Every structure is written in structure tokens, then in C-alpha cells.
Amino acid sequence: MGTEPYEPYRPARAEAYGRVREGLRAYRLITAMWIRSTMAYRASFVMTTFGNFAGTALDFVAIMLMFSRIDTLGGYGLPEVAFLYGLSATAFGLADLALGSMDRLGRRVRDGTLDTLLVRPVPVLAQVAADRFGLRRLGRVTQGVLVLGYAVAALDVSWTPLKVLMVPLALASGAGIFCAVFVAGAAFQFVAQDASEVQNSFTYGGQTLLQYPPTVFAKDLLRGVTFVLPLAFVNWLPALYVLGRPYPLDLPSWAAFAPPLVAAGCCALSGLAWRAGLRSYRSTGS
């Protein structure tokens, strides 16, 4: 008798899990197709990947040039800033690799090519996310990992098992948060069809913001990226726990362990936003 009230919900849960499996399978197949297409021109792939690596590396070169004139930035030395940079760049690079094509949705809405995705028996989100999968974006991920490796080697930190665990936890959670921002930004393009730059201001702009210590920004901005768009959970809160520094907003110490929950919440909300945007789509000329 105790399990009877839950019986009606089991088919719905099974259907939801089935849709997720179907979407992941479709994403894997589409990305594999684009990877095969990319690797057909290996020299071009190597050059574009290196160009992606070099272009993103210039961001850190600018930081190094800055530290050639100063000793600290907002009270943080170069290894500490490199740690912040490495976490944010790697997390964003992983999200950009997986969902970087989402900003093309507005173009599809305008020219009507989104209709071709709707008639296929495959989840639309998986198709849009895997569209023109850019393996060259591995250059950004590689650059972030290298900076993070330098920072870990140069930091004067007493590493404990919990602090070591915090690094991969922050990378996974940060990538999840950025993925949620990509999806939510794409959902917004159903309404504002020419809004890819607005989306980029929160994705690429947010990643640039997180490269620097929170102490150089006003507290109103910190509140916004903590409680409104929770980008602070990508790297600031976990990184400051590792570095043994307090967060400027005097949050409790357990907030450093909240990124997985924040990432899960952001992904759930972005999923709802995507479904609402997709339902509102009425094709071109409507």
C-alpha cells in the first residue's frame, strides 16, 4: 500500500530517463560525425587548434605583463591569479567544447532552418548543441590546463585531501554552470532572435571576469555574480577555500562546497527555460 501513490509517476520518470539517454546518444553520434569531418583535414585541424590555443593564451600573457610592473593585484600574487585563471578557463573551455554551438540558434530561428531539426525524431537540444562541433576548441582547454598546472606547482599551499578534491570538483561544477548559461542564453534567442552577443556577454564576459580576484571588483558586482547569476561558484569560492582566503561577502565556509548543488540548480532552471522557449517557437513568418 505504501508504494501505490508513486506508481503513476514511474512511467513519467522512465520516459524522462529515456529522453535523456536518447539525447545523449544523438549528441554522441552527431559530434562523432563532425569529428570525422574535421579529421579529414588534419593539417587544418592542427592549425586551427593551435590558433585557438594561441589566441586564448594572450589573455594570460596580458596578466603576466601586468605582473611585470606590479607585485600583487588586489592582494593576490601571480600564482594565485593563475590559479583563478586556470580554473575558470578550463571550466569554460569544457563547456564551450560541449555547447559552444548554442549561440547559432538565433541564426537558425531567423532563417527558418530550425524547422528541419524539429521534424527529426531526435531531441532538438542535442542537435543544436552538437551542430558543427568544434574539436579545435580543445586548444582553449589545453591552455587553461597548462596555466592551472603552473599555478598548482607554484602555489605556497598546504595541500590536504579535501583541497586536492576541490580542484576537480570546481572544474566539473564550473563547466556545469557555464553549460547552463549557454542553454539559457540559447533559450533567450527564441524571443530575441539576434541576441548571440547578449549571450556572449554572460559566457565569454563572465569567464574573463572570473580570471581576476574578487577583491578588485565592487561589492554590488560580487553580489550580482553570487546571488543572481552565480558565476562566483565557478572558481572564486572553491579557489579561495584552497588558498585560505575569505570571500569578500563574508559567506560561510561551507559555501565553497556548494558549487555542485548550484550547478545542478542552474542546469534544471536552464532546462525549464529551454522547454519554455521551444514551446514558444512558431517558425518564421508566424
**C-alpha cell recorded at residue 166:** 576541490
Give buried/exposed letters for 134-149 (b at 16+ CB in 10 A, else e).
bbbbbbbbbbbbbbbe
Determine which of 47-56, 107-116, 181-190, 264-273 has the lowest per-residue pLDDT on average: 107-116
CB-based contact 177:234 (threshold 8 Å): yes
pLDDT at 280: 86
Name the band, by pLDDT with cuts 50, 70 and 90, for residue 95.
Answer: very high
CA geometry: angle 239, 244, 247, nearest 5 deg: 65
Query: For cell 586548444, what's the residue?
Result: 139
What is each CA distance from 166 to 91, 155, 233, 241, in whole angstroms? 13, 15, 12, 9
Q: What is the mean pLDDT of residues 254-259?
A: 94
Residue 92: band (very low, low, confident or very high) from pLDDT cuts 50, 70, 90: very high
Q: How many C-beta neighbours within 10 Å does residue 37 have?
A: 12
Three cell numbers, residue 20: 535523456
The mean predicted confidence, pLDDT, of the chain is: 88
Q: Please choose, from the candidates 116, 61, 49, 111, the residue with its C-alpha nearest in 3D space to the C-alpha of residue 85.
A: 61
261 pLDDT higher than 90:
yes
- Report the predicted TM-score, pTM, of the whole model to 2 decimal places: 0.89
Which spans in 102-190 are helix H? 105-111, 114-118, 124-130, 138-154, 161-188
Contacts with 180 (C-beta within 8 Å, 6 or more apart), sequence order: 263, 266, 267, 269, 270
For 3, the grid coordinates are 508504494
Q: CA–CA separation, 164 vs 112, rounded Å?
A: 48
User: What digits encode the pLDDT tens for the residues 60-82?
Assistant: 999 999 999 999 999 999 999 99
Burial class from Cβ neighbours inside 10 Å (0-12, 13-18, 19+) for residue 157 reads middle
Residue 7 reports pLDDT greater than 70: no
In the predicted structure, residue 242 carries a pLDDT above the cut 60: yes
91 pLDDT exceeds 80? Answer: yes
- Grid cell at residue 115: 524547422
- pLDDT for residue 3: 47
Residue 73: strand pairing partners: 76
Those residues whose C-beta lies under 8 Å from the C-beta of residue 138, and which sit 6 or more positions away, are 49, 52, 97
Q: Are 62 and 147 in contact (CB under 8 A)?
A: no
The per-residue pLDDT for 202 is 86
pLDDT computed for residue 226 by the predictor:
95
On whether the CB atoms of residues 150 and 239 are closer than 8 A, the answer is no
